[in-house]
Structure 1
Amino acid sequence: MKIKPSLLTILISFAIISTSCVSVQVKDNTVANISSEVKKPKNIILLIGDGMGLSQVSAAIYYKNGKPNFERFGTIGLSKTSSANDLITDSAAGATVFSTGIKTYNGAIGVDIDTIAVPTIVEQLSKRGLSTGIISTSSIQHATPASFYAHVKSRRLYEQITEFAPNSGVNFFAGGGLKFFNKRKDGKDLLAEMRAKGYEVILDELPKTSSEKNELILLAEDGMPKMSEGRGDFLSNVTKLALEKLSKNEKGFFLLVEGSQIDWGGHNNDADYLIEELLDFDKTLGVALDFAKQNGETLVIVTADHETGGFTLSSDGTNYNKIKPTFSTTGHSGTMVPVFAEGPGSALFNGIYESIAVYHKMMELFNR
């Protein structure tokens, strides 16, 4: 791994538990191998605020009562989000970089630019015996969650994406997307197939405790309701439930949590929608950070696939004491997005880097 000079001091002074050999890029462009002991996590929680740029994060400072959980992170980097063929990525290509470590075309789900399937982090870790979970406030077939367990040429192939779920190896699914299991054009009943594969299928409400079986929790036909429509504490509560379940595995776990509708508020140029979803996401960060602090072996990473809406916290005219949220587009923008990290291995996430680096840094930490 190549590390900028500014990170050298951080790396050498970092807390230690296991030995690794690290390549460090020094000032004269020579590479030195330094035998150092770097603390590595047993578990990783990756939280993706879809469409969440720096202005969206800043909204938590101005609109949350109390200190935002974003401020609890000790390491912050910046990610460059362009896809393989476009300066501005979509969520499918933007999530595939996190799940596979490759840049691909907009619309791709777990495939490269030639539409060839690439193994995901979830698939690789499941084969090693680690537990895995996927949570979303959209349908679980939507671009971001789908990119972690499916391989299709287009993000719009929701029924085809769903067919990957029974054999995905994912231990915990939660979100919306029921209709793609049981109201399909091909007439298949994939809920029955999930049960045959050993999943407990839950369709009515979030359970209070986790099951011994793998779980499929689907609480909406498609995307989950907005916060303004009464979704409540689904995201934070289901994250607690997943952590309770996955942390029982002594080999470790990987959990993906997506705050999907930050992006939808941006697309709608609806500041109230965006901010409500952002604050719900921030509350969920608190759940992850509290777990990690108590557990001691968990790395929490928070980032975005891209920014949506060209969102800005403008002044209200010449009144510099009043914020007026504004938008410059109903689409995505090419701005860099933040990467927050806290826990063992967090120092690796300092700096400015391509979005694919998030995957490679996670896998480096898992490859103990």
Structure 2
Amino acid sequence: MNSVRKLLLNLFLFVLIASFVSCQNTDSQNQSVQESTPKNIIFLLGDGMGYPQITAAKYAHGNLNMTSMPYSGTVYTHSHDSKVTDSASSATAFACGFKTINGMLGVLPDGTTPVQSIAHYANELGKSTALMATSRITHATPAAYAIHHNDRGEEYIIAEKFVDSGIDMLLGAGSNYFLPESAGGTRPDDRNLISEMEEMGYLYLDSEEQLSQIAGQDRVIAFLEGGDLGQAAERGDQAGQLVDAAINQLSQNEEGFFMMIEGSQIDWQGHANEAELMIEELIDFDGIVGNVLDFAEQDGNTLVIVTADHETGGLTLPSAGDGEFSYNYSTGGHTAEHVPIFSFGPSAEQFKGTFDNTEIARKLFSIWGKEIQE
């Protein structure tokens, strides 16, 4: 009888321990799933930044922040109608997850059907949103996250659409497109879009000295120039200050945030075949990547992605003798070359390998709980 009772006791203890271990494993798995879903996403885009540009900058500067990120991959860039994309169609692809025709923003190839961007989806989730560029905010890349339009060149109309876009922070430059001539802008009509947005609760800033006022403000327009920011050597740390001030405020939202940061002028120097100036722009952009990674490492709940929309200039680095190379451009336009992608943080492993640029948005939507339907 004693042996039977002892056997039953041992069996009971075995079941109890097994149940405890199972619960612990389940809790561990749930915690792992929780940790793999980032609260924040920061997407950094080096416009025109292909593999040759990164290689050249690394030789000129040394190790780069972006190439230190733990995961990397390769992205296809073609648009709906061309093997060589422009910034509008590529931005629509990685913001919304759909191919479109060169020149179109946030719409399908029919030119009228809008597609949601990851920024607008973030707003739906209660997250804060911010777009920052070293160009004017009405330029193709930031515009694709905020508006729907079939012609990237109509920037005064694009500015009008920004008014009701719902994006919480617009950072960089471009006040000329928002203000009439009577208020110091270049709009061909009398609309003062800045005043309209101030009535909607936006704080408007137009100088570096005012950036500390971003703290405590949920909706901000910070345009430091009427057109575009100056070249890297001229603008100093303007871009870094904008990003740091914005992230400090965005991170106050308990639901999290989405931010897109574009190093716009890497592309412009590629168009001009100016290798040294391109490297300056890329190093400036990489400095911002470093600031973002510092925040993400400390925060622990932020996914950081760095990529490009296309390569510009057809840059190659042929031998120049004596162990050196020269800069050789084959075009003043874009090319069909694939581009790199680097990632860090929760879910970063999803961005290794080789995939189409539409997969960037589709992965981001999925990470935050939505599958894009065709």
User: Given the two structures, how large is their TM-score scaled by the length of structure 1?
Assistant: 0.87
Which residue number corresponds to residue 339 of structure 2?
337
User: How far apart in 2 are the matches of 1:148 and 1:272?
Assistant: 30
User: How far apart in 1 are the matches of 2:263 and 2:317?
Assistant: 20
Residue 138, structure 1, aligned to residue 135, structure 2: yes
Contact 2:71 2:352 in 1 (8 A): yes
Q: 1:227-238 maps to which residues of 2 (within 5 A)?
A: 227-228=232-233, 230-238=234-242
Which residue number corresponds to residue 83 of structure 2?
87
User: How far apart in 2 are the matches of 1:147 and 1:222?
Assistant: 18
Write the deviation string for residues 196-234 of structure 1: whole angstroms up to 9, x where unpaired: 110000112251352323110011111111013x10111
Which residue number corresponds to residue 225 of structure 1?
230
Which residue number corresponds to residue 254 of structure 2?
250
User: How far apart in 1 are the matches of 2:135 and 2:328?
Assistant: 24
Residue 17 of structure 1 deviates from its aligned partner by: 5.1
Which residue number corresponds to residue 110 of structure 1?
106
Residue 359 of structure 1 deviates from its aligned partner by: 0.3
Flag as ranges the 4+ runs of structure 1 deviating above 6 A. Answer: none
User: Given the two structures, how large is their TM-score scaled by the length of structure 2?
Assistant: 0.86
Q: 1:351-362 maps to which residues of 2 (within 5 A)?
A: 351-362=353-364
Which residue number corresponds to residue 295 of structure 1?
299
Contact 1:146 1:161 in 2 (8 A): yes
Which residue number corresponds to residue 9 of structure 1?
none
One-letter amino acid of the counterpart of residue 90, structure 2: G
Q: 1:35-74 maps to which residues of 2 (within 5 A)?
A: 39-64=36-61, 66-74=62-70
Contact 1:16 1:38 in 2 (8 A): no
Contact 2:35 2:301 in 1 (8 A): no
Greater Cα offset, 244-253 or 199-208:
199-208
Q: How many residues align?
A: 334
Structural RMSD (CA): 1.6
Which residue number corresponds to residue 3 of structure 1?
none
Mind listing any 5+ residue stretches in structure 2 that lack a counterpart?
1-27, 180-185
Residue 126, structure 1, aligned to residue 123, structure 2: yes
User: How far apart in 1 are the matches of 2:69 and 2:29?
Assistant: 20
One-letter amino acid of the counterpart of residue 273, structure 1: L
User: How far apart in 2 are the matches of 1:106 and 1:17?
Assistant: 43
Write the deviation string for residues 288-331 of structure 1: whole angstroms up to 9, x where unpaired: 11000000000100000100001122222x33x22322211100
One-letter amino acid of the counterpart of residue 51, structure 1: G
User: How far apart in 2 are the matches of 1:346 and 1:310?
Assistant: 29
Contact 1:76 1:340 in 2 (8 A): yes
Which residue number corresponds to residue 144 of structure 2?
147
Write the deviation string for residues 341-367 of structure 1: whole angstroms up to 9, x where unpaired: 011001101111110000011111111
Q: 1:203-214 maps to which residues of 2 (within 5 A)?
A: 203-205=206-208, 207-213=211-217, 214=219
Residue 147 of structure 1 deviates from its aligned partner by: 0.5
Contact 1:50 1:261 in 2 (8 A): yes
Tell me which protein shows more helix as a share of its residues.
Answer: 2
Residue 164 of structure 1 deviates from its aligned partner by: 1.9
Mind listing any 5+ residue stretches in structure 1 that lack a counterpart?
1-14, 21-36
Q: 1:117 to 1:353 in 2, by over 3 A?
A: same
One-letter amino acid of the counterpart of residue 139, structure 2: H
User: How far apart in 2 are the matches of 1:18 and 1:141?
Assistant: 41
Which residue number corresponds to residue 20 of structure 2?
none
Residue 200, structure 1, aligned to residue 203, structure 2: yes
Contact 2:267 2:312 in 1 (8 A): yes
Which residue number corresponds to residue 367 of structure 1?
369
Q: Which has the larger radius of gyration?
A: 2
Residue 101, structure 1, aligned to residue 97, structure 2: yes
Contact 1:17 1:40 in 2 (8 A): no
User: How far apart in 1 are the matches of 2:60 and 2:29?
Assistant: 38
- Taking only the aligned residue pairs, the percentage that are identical comes to 39
Residue 16 of structure 1 deviates from its aligned partner by: 5.9
Greater Cα offset, 141-150 or 168-177:
168-177
Which residue number corresponds to residue 274 of structure 2?
270
Contact 1:78 1:352 in 2 (8 A): yes
Greater Cα offset, 82-91 or 121-130:
121-130
One-letter amino acid of the counterpart of residue 75, structure 2: S
